[in-house]
Amino acid sequence: MTIDEVKIGGLGASRPRVEDNRFIRGKGNYVDDIALPGMLHMELLRSPLAHARIKSIDVTAAWAIPGVRLVLTGEMMASRNLAWMPTLSYDTQAVLATDKVRFQGQEIACVVADDPYIAKDACEAIIVDYEPLPVIVNPTQAMTAGAPVIRDDKENQHDNLIFDWEVGDKDGTDAAFSAADVVSELELHYPRSHPSPIETCGSIADFDRSTSKLTVYMTTQAPHIIRAAVAMVAELPEHMIRIISPDLGGGFGNKVPVYPGYVVSILASILLERPVKWIEDKTGNLISTGFGRDVYLRGQMALRKDGKILGVRMHTDSDHGAFFSDAQPSKFKIGLMHSAFACYDIPTAHLTAQGVYTNKAPGGVAYRCSFRVTEAMFFQERMVQAAADDLGLDQAEFRRLNFVQDDDFPHRTPFGFLTDSGQYGKCLDIGLEAVGYKKFLEQKEEAKKNGRLLGIGISTMTEPLGAGNSREYDILGIKMFDSAELRVHMTGKAILRTGAKSQGQGHETTWAQIVAHELGIPADDVVVEEGDTDTAPFGMGTYASRSTPVAGAAVSMVSRKIRAKARKIAAHLLEVSEEDIDWELGRFYLRSSPDRGVTIQECAMAAYSNVPDGMEPGLENNAYYDPPNLTWPFACYIATVEVDPLTGVWDVLNMVAVDDCGVRINPMIVEGQIMGGLTEAYAMASMQFITFDDEGNCVGSNYMDYLLPTAWETPGFELHEVVTPCPHHPIGAKGIGECATVGGPAAFVNAVMDALKGSGVRNVDMPLLPDRVYEALTTSRDVSGAPPIRTS
Amino acid sequence: MYPSRFSYEAPTTVKEAIALLSKANGEAKVLAGGQSLVPMMKLRFAAPQILVDINNIPGLAFHSADPDGTYRIGALCRHVDLEKDVELAAQQPTMAAAAPVIADPIVRTRGTVVGSLCHADPQGDWASVMSALGGSIVAEGPNGRRTIPCSDFVNGPFQNLLEPEELAVEATVPPPVGTRAGGYLKLERRIGDFATAGVAVSLELSGEQVVRAGIGLTGVGPSTICADAAAETLVGQALDQSTIERAAQLASDVSQPRSDHRGSEAYKRHIVATFVTRILSNLQPATEQAT
């Protein structure tokens, strides 16, 4: 009688991904797959210069090309009060440039034409007269006295400083340093990278004059936020705006912000009363949309001789580009950078942060991370290794000595977060065992005698995933909860909608599994729909690994509401009182006579055909979930490498990952997430970066220059798991989508640094390209900053 | 992809192709594999008025050895054709070493060897290989065929000696005078990246003695570099340690790398020397290697 939960695709089932059925058949429905009757095509003209005053824009020749329907410039946007728009961080961003261009690739004008070829031709026919201005490409230049003010459009902005921010206990930390036996120091740069989803950004705006309704198909991870933003920016009534985010070809944080292309396509559709499609090309995506990282970090660690960490100081200088448009909770200027050192028992810490404008693309999105957590954990684990080396302690034992212990939860982190669960030591043990730690250390010594350089690197971290709770987390004042709506049809099949938006995470598969777990309805009987603001309940979207912690919890909670109603119906059907029945998966039964029962499907039928007197018919409900805390997954990543001393090329010998993300809904999808994350971690460590030359030219504007590792160079990974359920999540799950991207890079870099140990080199900044490793090895000096662009 | 407007021609004979090229007044580009041309058209760096697609011309997709040992590669021979040829390692070891490291598998499936040579990218691998082998390009025009040595063929970055109305119909390698040996090593930041530096070595051996040698360098100059002095120093010698070191030094000396985001000038010179040493050491008789 009992239903096997795994068989119905419930919790713990490695159920094949439902969405893959259409993806592997080429039947996905992406924005660019959509063609509406009478649709026109839009192309953006972008600035070739990073900083220049616009003297004039001549669009005469563009208008003269047959098939051109509309040419828009900043001036024309300004006449409609749309030349500027608000960002997600309370700044403003130019939609189409009016006064100046502030980064290479900035949007200057748009052409709408009958086909994209004509639109592109017409863009080339627009003549812009520029007066070049001095260019700023890093925080040092930005903060130099007398530096040109990039944001001279802003009243009271007389320099390039965006914010000065601090968190933690300065006095307490100073005292800890006074008491320290040893102070370790580290300075590093986390280079700029780009999330680079394979599908670029795009939209089709369709304004229907007869109904006054604006429908926008858009590549967005957060359709409801976009609806609110469009309502505010375009001053359209919110109920007349429908945002549809269809299948997304990846997001990684890149598809959270509002981009000029979206706004311009909307205005174009309103003006022309025809659907207008804008599909960004790859270069446009790489040079103009939300980047990740670009932070200089430095800090010190106060240490006792026996290895105990007494306190930490951190300072960050972050480069936000020309507009402060980070997508992050409003309260925190540098995201959740202060989640650093959360897995270690450190009494006190202090962080100062300074953010600046530069002539680079804006963004600062949470590239597969929970708002700057990637930089935080990278600094943490590089600092920890440096400290272990300074003390002459084994890097694994040094971590173990300082870990928060299993019975110390809940634990207040040095910057004030509250962690609630974990088995850090156990994860480390499993990792060390899997990699053969002791044996590798012996091999390393042996190899050294033959001139071979082996290294091992560890990265252990817990990170805050699943923003919010709404007390602390909001974007532009909108609280970071999430939602789910479940409709069970009379035959026991169901449709579930949430305010999240899958972009590869597999929600269509995993949400149904949660319903199956809560109600015993086979997962195959539950269809999941997201991304349409007219049908989905309000939600903050999918990023920062928040879907399972927040929307996933809402799925549980709405299922439980459904179950509560079904229980009343079951009592009615069994002609007993509610107190006399019990629940097992998929079925209510009489406690005194367990053979007598009704299935959830029978309850569903009765909900539409035979409800008790006084009960509303139907079996539908929704739930809004405001999590009591973030979830705190833990991870231990260990990499071993061999460095070729003659070329600086390094190969990964082994990469072991031990992840504790609590209860796993779909282990196969979790493993896929970890493997994808480790690939990005390897990418950051080895090659993936975007840099700029002195003129502000973006080096990394296409896939020849922006190096994404493929299956050919990505090493294999060995995965292990520990399960410490989240104490406050309805099903004990924690976020996982980003752990490996966040924690992984330090494992690779620590491994290469370990191989170079003894050469006098303390740090080589990512990416660890062969020439940089070789330079460090042969000069015995640190290699800092983004790779140099030497053009002469 | 939204390139500039162009017209497209698909001739079925070489003669027809040449007629189309002749008519085009230098405004035509030949499309073979398209792995460099098409991306350039996409970015509108290249905007040819006419595209002459030679893929429908029969008889160009070959690679084979003539009875006298001359090796010939037709204009539609894809990189993958060489990569998959199990006999190539014995016949043309330098080519066999290079074929699997050209670009990435996708490009290798479509791209052509001759097209790559004509593209004349200083970071192209085949030019170094063909220079090391003393190979030539056979160009056919309205007035018949002519043969251009690969070492002369490229006269600058992305420039070659073809006349606008000429079609490169094949690449050839002269017959060997000894037993062929050789290798190709390339440093790239990622598979499919252009070479930070690449080294092609071709040797012809009589016993342990080198009777003919060629060394070509990729990505370390405005165009492919023939390290003739380095090759010359090997001729008449056995591959002992000091000979190898001398060749490595000479190759490094003749390279003209520029510092860029792939590495400094000094680093690239060092890689050239390291790769020459590695290839030659690998070709040493087992007894030498042991010492």
Residues A665 and A541 in one domain: no
In order, the DSSP letters of A576-632 are S-GGGEEEETTEEEETTEEEEEEEHHHHHHHHHH-PPTTPPP--EEEEEE--SS-B-
Asked whether residue A400 is domain-assigned, the answer is no
Residues A49 and A115 in one domain: yes
Residues of chain A with Cβ-Cβ distance to B258 below 8 Å are 790
pLDDT tens per residue across span B54-67: 999 999 999 999 99
In order, the DSSP letters of B100-164 are GGSS-HHHHHH-BHHHHHHHT-TT-HHHHHHHHTT-EEEEEETTEEEEEEHHHHEEETTEES--T
> Could you give the residue ranges of the DSSP H alpha helices within B142-264?
150-153, 228-232, 241-254
Q: What are the residue numbers of the active site of A?
A: 221, 368-369, 738
Spatial separation of the C-alpha atoms in residues A783 and A779, rounded to whole Å = 10
Asked whether residue A704 is domain-assigned, the answer is yes
Least Cα separation, residue A711 to chain B (angstroms): 10
- The last residue of a domain, from among A264, A286, A308: A286
Asked whether residue A282 is domain-assigned, the answer is yes
Cis (ω within 30 of 0) for the bond into A767? Answer: yes
- CATH number at A606 reads 3.30.365.10
Token code pair at residue A307:
């290895």
Contact yes or no for B273/B249 (Cβ under 8 A): yes
- The last residue of a domain, from among A325, A341, A359: A359
**CB-based contact (8 Å) between B104 and chain A?**
yes
Residues A122 and A260 in one domain: yes
Q: Which domain holds residue A156?
A: 134-193+291-359
Residues A755 and A701 in one domain: yes
Test the B interface: residue of A124, A278, A647 with most B CBs within 10 Å: A647
- Strands A691-692, A698-699: pairing kind: antiparallel
Least Cα separation, residue B268 to chain A (angstroms): 9
Interface of B with A in 237-266 (CB under 8 A): 258-264
Helix (H) or strand (E) segment spanning residue A176: helix A170-178
In order, the DSSP letters of A37-79 are TT-EEEEEEE-SSSSEEEEEEE-HHHHTSTTEEEEEEHHHHHT
Asked whether residue A68 is domain-assigned, the answer is yes
ipTM of the complex: 0.94
Test the B interface: residue of A65, A771, A775 with most B CBs within 10 Å: A771
Spatial separation of the C-alpha atoms in residues A64 and A124, rounded to whole Å = 12
Asked whether residue A637 is domain-assigned, the answer is yes
Residues A75 and A172 in one domain: no
Average pLDDT on B155-177 reads 95
Go through the domains of chain B in sequence order and give each one's CATH number.
7-53 (3.30.43.10), 63-173 (3.30.465.10), 179-285 (3.30.390.50)
**CB-based contact (8 Å) between B6 and chain A?**
no
pLDDT tens per residue across span B77-91: 999 999 999 999 999
Write the DSSP symbol of residue A10.
-
- CATH number at A67 reads 3.90.1170.50
Contact yes or no for B217/B197 (Cβ under 8 A): yes
Asked whether residue A408 is domain-assigned, the answer is no
Q: Within a 10 A sphere around the Cβ of B155, how many other Cβ atoms?
A: 10
Q: Would you place residue B291 in the very low, low, confident or very high pLDDT band (cuts 50, 70, 90)?
A: very low
Confidence (pLDDT) at A331: 85
Q: Does the distance separating the beta carbons of A790 and B264 come in below 8 Å?
A: yes
Give every residue of chain A whose pLDDT is below 50, as ranges: 791-792
Residues A127 and A138 in one domain: no
Contact yes or no for A372/A335 (Cβ under 8 A): yes
A561-581 core/surface letters (b: 16 or more CB in 10 A; e: else): bbbebbbbbbbbbbebeeeeb
Confidence (pLDDT) at A764: 96
Residues A614 and A508 in one domain: yes
Q: Does the distance separating the beta carbons of B191 and A712 come in below 8 Å?
A: yes
Confidence (pLDDT) at A1: 60
Tally of structural domains, chain A: 4
Separation in Å, CA B252 to CA A291, B228, B245: 39, 12, 10
Residues A645 and A762 in one domain: yes
A675: left (phi over 0), alpha (psi -120 to 50) or beta: alpha
Residues A696 and A747 in one domain: yes
Helix (H) or strand (E) segment spanning residue A303: strand A295-303
Token code pair at residue A509:
């598969």
Looking at chain B, the whole-number percentage of residues with pLDDT higher than 70 is 98
**CB-based contact (8 Å) between A283 and chain B?**
yes
Q: Would you place residue B267 in the very low, low, confident or very high pLDDT band (cuts 50, 70, 90)?
A: very high
Residues A557 and A427 in one domain: no
Secondary structure class of B64 (helix, strand, coil): strand
Spatial separation of the C-alpha atoms in residues B54 and B73, rounded to whole Å = 15
A749: left (phi over 0), alpha (psi -120 to 50) or beta: alpha
Contact yes or no for A687/B188 (Cβ under 8 A): no
Asked whether residue A313 is domain-assigned, the answer is yes
- The last residue of a domain, from among A322, A340, A359: A359
Residues A94 and A243 in one domain: yes
Confidence (pLDDT) at A789: 63
Which residues, including other chains, have CB under 8 Å from residue A614's CB and lie 6 or more apart?
A: none
∠ CA A261-A264-A269 to the nearest 5 degrees?
Answer: 120
Residues A617 and A745 in one domain: no
Token code pair at residue B25:
């007044």
